[in-house]
Amino acid sequence: MADHASWWPVVSGTYESRALDKLDGAITTSLSVVAHAADEVRWRQIEYVEVDDFTAIMQATIGVIMACETLATAADEAKTTCRAALAEAMALGATTVKTDHHVASLRAANTRVVVTDQAALPLSLMRQAAPAPDLTAIGALLRAGQVVRGAVLSNGGPDTLTIRNRKDHT
């Protein structure tokens, strides 16, 4: 395990060696995965700089977008891994962890109702769903040119860019 004494935050509580190893592993793995994804973004940016025709620039832009999405996914997964490791370590007794700019605290989950047998519940405790518009049927009528009082067709907002894998190239 790396020596983190110089940056390890002040902790109120006691950590066990296993929890420290898990935290160290989560940090090391997460930083490695995110760094690899960030390198991919940099390589895609280099490809962009080296092209000079419009179609090639658009293709390079798709590569940059996809690399950025990979980076975002890697960062989200790294964050989830680190949060879980920190929560597990804090559950050993550290209620608060402070750094120069942040404070992390662990609190018990809120109590919630779990229905174990819906059929056994009295009807007075059951909600009745409010009627909802059938958007598919209304849309079909409007597209067929019929007037539906209280509804219109909308373009739904600005155009959406979709990028997907080509079936002929995996």
Residue 117 — φ and ψ, nearest 5°? -150, 95
pLDDT, position 10? 46
pLDDT, position 38? 81
Look at the alpha carbons of 24, 30, 33, 39 in this order and tell me if their dihedral is positive or negative: negative
Q: Residue 88: helix, strand or coil by DSSP? A: helix
pLDDT, position 42? 76
Nearest by Cα to 83 from 38, 30, 32, 33:
30
Q: Are 51 and 99 in contact (CB under 8 A)?
A: no
pLDDT, position 50? 65
Task: Give the C-alpha separation, 122 to 20, whole Å.
Answer: 50
* Ramachandran assignment for 80, one of left (phi > 0), alpha (psi -120 to 50 degrees), beta (any other): alpha
Task: List the chain residues with pLDDT less than 50.
Answer: 1-15
